[in-house]
């Protein structure tokens, strides 16, 4: 354990990874950057939340997932983590239940008294050994998995979006870890029409659904951490009006339907230079540096989707560039694709009670770190995000009722 001012605290590293990458060259980058992060921070508890397990072509790529997990569990870099729990939703043949989510947890050998909650038995069970669960997770009592109702996103024939919740007790402190994947923007043109966009409303509805489920009356309420691909997007209308403030807009319509299928923004002067081209799946802005300069923080004013939940959720200050959509070309680690407006899709959010668990050392900016991984190398179309922090000594005392339940059920 780490000792700070003679008070025991727990090193806890929470890492969000947006997907398991199947191409071998990207997987090597992914693992190298992950191992380096673990080596740097030396966490006692690691939570890895993956979305799109197996990648976009999961039917052909699921075989790579097993190899990837075996590499993590058996690598020399992870040999001090003698306990693990891996939950992979790989059953893509079951469209009714398939979410393509993966939750991976690693416990350091020095970490004692760690328990996981059994949602069926409604009690904590001590974590020993390494276990992997896949295929039908619906029968696994150590987690809750749900897929969002189909009518939440009718534009998709069928969607994999949903969430998985696990509950843990570490040094008598109980908390929920929720892996979440919310709905994307199906069309840049539709997202541009209104502020906020219709897609923002869909994500708000889905996130409200998750929060209602994890705080209902079935189980005792505990602090919760939500991390995954929220698909939060910048307010398109606001961003475009700012980036193209001095430009004129040309509208191109389909000849047969008269529907808008392209917008072209040109400078009024400077030989009518094209500033932005917008299509359903095209966001081609002439200067990507605006999203990388100073980590793009000037554009955070358009990152508004979390503000609706400010009474329920909080977040550490963002100081890294938009996490999506990066080029998947292995030679273009810093380059964004021109498919979507770069946005902070991948996030780690905390209930206010979870925020209170975090220990912040005075005059130590590195006691809590919220950052991305692999900023200079290709990690896939999402750049992984992580949160490193320590649980404050005595944090569990704020939740005496939870402690009482723990003593009664876990011993």
**Tell me: the pLDDT tens digits for 162-185?**
999 999 999 889 999 999 999 999
83-114 in b/e form (b: 16+ CB < 10 A) is: bbbbbbbbbbeeeebbbbbbbbbbbbeebeeb
- Looking at residue 125, its pLDDT comes to 97
Domain coordinates in residue numbering, the chain: 2-233+287-410
pTM of the model: 0.91
The CATH number for 2-233+287-410, chosen from 3.60.10.10, 3.40.710.10, 3.40.190.80, 1.10.10.10, is 3.60.10.10
Distance of CA 322 to the CA centre of its chain: 13
CA-to-CA distance for 103 and 123, rounded, in angstroms? 20
Q: How confident is the model over 209-238, as a mean pLDDT?
A: 97
Q: Is 129 left (phi over 0), alpha (psi -120 to 50) or beta?
A: left
pLDDT range class, residue 53, cuts 50, 70, 90: confident
Q: Is the pLDDT of residue 404 over 90?
A: no
pLDDT range class, residue 405, cuts 50, 70, 90: very low
pLDDT range class, residue 242, cuts 50, 70, 90: very high
Contact between residue 35 and residue 410 where contact means Cβ atoms under 8 Å apart: no
pLDDT range class, residue 56, cuts 50, 70, 90: low
Token pair, residue 203, equals 């994500």
Beta-bridged to residue 314, according to DSSP, are: 350
Contact between residue 50 and residue 19 where contact means Cβ atoms under 8 Å apart: yes
- Looking at residue 152, its pLDDT comes to 84
CA atoms within 13 A on the CB side of 144: 20
- Looking at residue 214, its pLDDT comes to 98
**Tell me: the pLDDT tens digits for 345-373?**
999 999 999 999 988 766 667 789 999 99
Q: Is the pLDDT of residue 8 over 50?
A: no
Which of 85-94, 155-164, 260-269 comes out lowest in average pLDDT? 155-164
- Looking at residue 406, its pLDDT comes to 43
**Tell me: the pLDDT tens digits for 94-123?**
888 899 999 999 999 999 889 999 999 999
Contact between residue 349 and residue 306 where contact means Cβ atoms under 8 Å apart: yes
Q: Is the pLDDT of residue 271 over 90?
A: no
Q: Is the pLDDT of residue 407 over 50?
A: no
Token pair, residue 298, equals 């000037």
Token pair, residue 125, equals 């069970």
């Amino acid at each position: 354990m780490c000792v700070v001012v003679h008070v025991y605290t727990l090193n806890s590293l929470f890492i969000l990874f947006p997907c398991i990458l199947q191409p071998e060259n990207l997987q090597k980058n992914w693992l190298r950057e992950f191992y380096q992060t673990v080596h740097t921070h030396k966490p006692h508890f690691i939570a890895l939340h993956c979305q799109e397990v197996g990648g976009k072509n999961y039917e052909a790529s699921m075989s790579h997932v097993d190899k990837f997990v075996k590499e993590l569990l058996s690598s020399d870099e992870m040999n001090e983590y003698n306990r693990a729990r891996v939950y992979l939703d790989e059953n893509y043949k079951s469209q009714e239940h398939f979410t393509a989510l993966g939750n991976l947890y690693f416990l350091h050998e020095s970490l004692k008294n760690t328990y996981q909650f059994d949602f069926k038995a409604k009690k904590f069970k001590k974590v020993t050994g390494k276990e992997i669960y896949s295929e039908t997770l619906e029968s696994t009592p150590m987690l809750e998995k749900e897929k969002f109702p189909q009518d939440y996103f009718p534009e998709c024939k069928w969607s994999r979006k949903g969430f998985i919740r696990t509950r843990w007790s570490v040094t008598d402190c109980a908390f929920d870890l929720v892996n979440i994947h919310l709905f994307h923007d199906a069309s840049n043109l539709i997202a541009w029409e209104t502020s906020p966009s219709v897609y923002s409303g869909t994500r708000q509805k889905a996130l409200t659904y998750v929060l209602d489920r994890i705080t209902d009356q079935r189980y005792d309420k505990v602090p919760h951490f939500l991390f995954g691909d929220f698909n939060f997007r910048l307010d398109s209308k606001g961003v475009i009006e700012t980036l193209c403030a001095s430009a004129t807009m040309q509208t191109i319509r389909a000849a047969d339907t008269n529907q808008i299928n392209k917008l072209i923004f040109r400078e009024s002067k400077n030989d009518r230079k094209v500033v932005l081209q917008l299509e359903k799946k095209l966001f081609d802005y002439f200067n990507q540096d605006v999203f990388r300069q100073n980590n793009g923080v000037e554009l955070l004013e358009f990152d508004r989707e979390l503000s609706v939940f400010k009474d329920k959720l909080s977040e550490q200050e963002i100081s890294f560039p938009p996490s999506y959509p990066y080029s998947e070309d292995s030679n273009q680690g810093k380059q964004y694709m021109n498919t979507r407006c770069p946005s902070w899709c991948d996030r780690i959010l905390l209930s206010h009670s979870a925020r209170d668990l975090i220990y912040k050392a005075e005059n130590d900016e590195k006691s809590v770190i919220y950052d991305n991984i692999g900023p200079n190398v290709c990690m896939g179309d999402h750049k992984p995000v992580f949160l490193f922090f320590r649980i404050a000594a005595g944090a569990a005392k704020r939740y005496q009722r939870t402690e009482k339940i723990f003593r009664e059920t876990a011993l």
